[in-house]
Amino acid sequence: MSSPFLADCPARLAVELIADKWTVVVLAGLSRGPVRHGELVDLIGGISRKVLTQTLRRLEAHGLVRRRAYPEVPPRVEYELTPLGATLTEPIRVLTDWANTNGDAVLEALDTGRRTEPGPSVHSGHSAGDPGGWQKPGPALR
Protein backbone atom coordinates (compact mmCIF):
# COMPACT_ATOMS: atom_id res chain seq x y z
CA MET A 1 0.00 0.00 0.00
CA SER A 2 1.39 3.42 -0.92
CA SER A 3 1.70 6.35 1.46
CA PRO A 4 -1.52 8.37 1.82
CA PHE A 5 0.53 11.57 1.60
CA LEU A 6 2.19 11.17 -1.80
CA ALA A 7 1.86 14.22 -4.03
CA ASP A 8 -0.84 12.69 -6.22
CA CYS A 9 -2.89 11.14 -3.40
CA PRO A 10 -6.40 12.44 -2.53
CA ALA A 11 -5.57 12.25 1.21
CA ARG A 12 -2.73 14.72 0.73
CA LEU A 13 -5.03 17.11 -1.14
CA ALA A 14 -7.52 16.91 1.72
CA VAL A 15 -4.83 17.57 4.34
CA GLU A 16 -3.47 20.52 2.35
CA LEU A 17 -6.99 21.97 2.10
CA ILE A 18 -7.64 21.59 5.82
CA ALA A 19 -4.18 22.86 6.77
CA ASP A 20 -4.87 26.28 5.24
CA LYS A 21 -4.75 29.06 7.83
CA TRP A 22 -8.47 29.85 7.67
CA THR A 23 -10.15 26.59 6.61
CA VAL A 24 -10.71 25.05 10.04
CA VAL A 25 -11.90 28.36 11.51
CA VAL A 26 -14.37 28.90 8.65
CA LEU A 27 -15.66 25.32 8.89
CA ALA A 28 -16.08 25.75 12.66
CA GLY A 29 -18.00 28.96 12.05
CA LEU A 30 -20.35 27.13 9.70
CA SER A 31 -20.81 24.15 12.02
CA ARG A 32 -23.84 25.70 13.77
CA GLY A 33 -25.85 26.13 10.59
CA PRO A 34 -26.26 28.53 7.67
CA VAL A 35 -24.47 31.87 8.05
CA ARG A 36 -24.29 35.01 5.95
CA HIS A 37 -20.91 36.33 4.80
CA GLY A 38 -20.91 39.38 7.08
CA GLU A 39 -21.96 37.31 10.09
CA LEU A 40 -19.08 34.93 9.39
CA VAL A 41 -16.60 37.84 9.22
CA ASP A 42 -17.83 39.04 12.63
CA LEU A 43 -17.86 35.54 14.12
CA ILE A 44 -14.33 34.67 13.02
CA GLY A 45 -12.61 38.02 13.58
CA GLY A 46 -9.27 38.87 12.01
CA ILE A 47 -10.19 37.67 8.51
CA SER A 48 -10.69 40.10 5.65
CA ARG A 49 -13.80 39.86 3.51
CA LYS A 50 -11.59 39.06 0.50
CA VAL A 51 -9.79 36.18 2.22
CA LEU A 52 -13.08 34.83 3.57
CA THR A 53 -14.58 34.91 0.06
CA GLN A 54 -11.53 33.09 -1.35
CA THR A 55 -11.69 30.49 1.42
CA LEU A 56 -15.43 29.92 0.96
CA ARG A 57 -15.00 29.53 -2.81
CA ARG A 58 -12.21 27.00 -2.35
CA LEU A 59 -14.27 25.02 0.19
CA GLU A 60 -17.28 25.15 -2.13
CA ALA A 61 -15.18 23.90 -5.06
CA HIS A 62 -14.03 20.96 -2.92
CA GLY A 63 -17.57 20.05 -1.89
CA LEU A 64 -17.34 21.08 1.78
CA VAL A 65 -19.48 24.23 1.68
CA ARG A 66 -22.70 25.13 -0.11
CA ARG A 67 -23.49 28.69 -1.17
CA ARG A 68 -27.18 29.45 -1.32
CA ALA A 69 -28.35 32.69 -2.99
CA TYR A 70 -31.94 33.74 -2.40
CA PRO A 71 -33.83 35.67 -5.12
CA GLU A 72 -34.62 38.62 -2.85
CA VAL A 73 -34.04 42.36 -2.86
CA PRO A 74 -31.61 43.09 -1.38
CA PRO A 75 -29.83 39.85 -2.30
CA ARG A 76 -29.24 37.36 0.50
CA VAL A 77 -26.54 34.70 0.38
CA GLU A 78 -25.93 32.07 3.04
CA TYR A 79 -23.18 29.50 3.42
CA GLU A 80 -23.54 26.12 5.08
CA LEU A 81 -21.66 22.87 5.40
CA THR A 82 -22.47 20.13 2.94
CA PRO A 83 -22.88 16.60 4.32
CA LEU A 84 -19.20 16.03 3.41
CA GLY A 85 -18.16 19.24 5.20
CA ALA A 86 -20.22 18.23 8.24
CA THR A 87 -18.04 15.10 8.60
CA LEU A 88 -15.25 17.45 9.69
CA THR A 89 -17.22 18.91 12.61
CA GLU A 90 -16.13 16.28 15.14
CA PRO A 91 -12.42 16.26 14.16
CA ILE A 92 -12.44 20.08 14.35
CA ARG A 93 -14.06 19.91 17.80
CA VAL A 94 -11.35 17.50 18.97
CA LEU A 95 -8.63 19.77 17.55
CA THR A 96 -10.27 22.79 19.21
CA ASP A 97 -10.37 21.01 22.56
CA TRP A 98 -6.67 20.18 22.16
CA ALA A 99 -5.89 23.82 21.28
CA ASN A 100 -7.83 25.12 24.28
CA THR A 101 -6.03 22.67 26.57
CA ASN A 102 -2.54 23.13 25.13
CA GLY A 103 -2.51 26.58 23.56
CA ASP A 104 -0.71 28.28 26.43
CA ALA A 105 1.96 25.54 26.49
CA VAL A 106 2.52 25.94 22.73
CA LEU A 107 2.89 29.72 23.07
CA GLU A 108 5.22 29.30 26.04
CA ALA A 109 7.41 26.84 24.11
CA LEU A 110 7.48 29.23 21.16
CA ASP A 111 8.53 32.12 23.40
CA THR A 112 11.18 29.99 25.09
CA GLY A 113 12.55 28.87 21.73
CA ARG A 114 12.77 32.45 20.49
CA ARG A 115 14.75 33.50 23.57
CA THR A 116 17.25 30.65 23.26
CA GLU A 117 17.73 30.33 19.48
CA PRO A 118 20.76 32.09 18.03
CA GLY A 119 20.34 33.90 14.74
CA PRO A 120 17.13 34.30 12.74
CA SER A 121 14.02 32.64 14.12
CA VAL A 122 12.51 29.72 12.25
CA HIS A 123 9.34 31.79 12.41
CA SER A 124 10.93 34.91 10.89
CA GLY A 125 8.37 34.95 8.08
CA HIS A 126 5.65 35.92 10.53
CA SER A 127 4.87 39.36 11.84
CA ALA A 128 5.26 40.26 15.51
CA GLY A 129 1.49 39.99 15.96
CA ASP A 130 1.41 36.48 14.47
CA PRO A 131 3.50 34.19 16.70
CA GLY A 132 4.52 31.55 14.20
CA GLY A 133 1.01 31.31 12.85
CA TRP A 134 -0.36 30.16 16.22
CA GLN A 135 -3.05 32.18 17.91
CA LYS A 136 -5.51 31.33 20.62
CA PRO A 137 -8.81 30.21 19.10
CA GLY A 138 -11.26 32.95 18.24
CA PRO A 139 -14.98 32.92 19.04
CA ALA A 140 -15.77 30.43 16.27
CA LEU A 141 -13.65 27.78 17.96
CA ARG A 142 -14.73 28.24 21.57
* Domain residue ranges in the chain: 10-141
Q: Please tell me the distance from the alpha carbon of residue 120 to that of residue 125, in angstroms, as a whole number.
A: 10
CATH code for the part of the protein at 10-141: 1.10.10.10
Confidence of residue 97 (pLDDT cuts 50, 70, 90): very high
Q: Is the pLDDT of residue 61 over 90?
A: yes
pLDDT of 118 above 60: yes
Q: What is the mean pLDDT of the chain?
A: 83
Which band of pLDDT confidence, cut at 50, 70 and 90, is reported for residue 131?
A: very low
pTM for this model (two decimals): 0.72
Q: Tell me which of 30-34, 64-68, 112-116 is least confident.
A: 112-116
pLDDT class for 10, splitting at 50, 70, 90?
A: confident
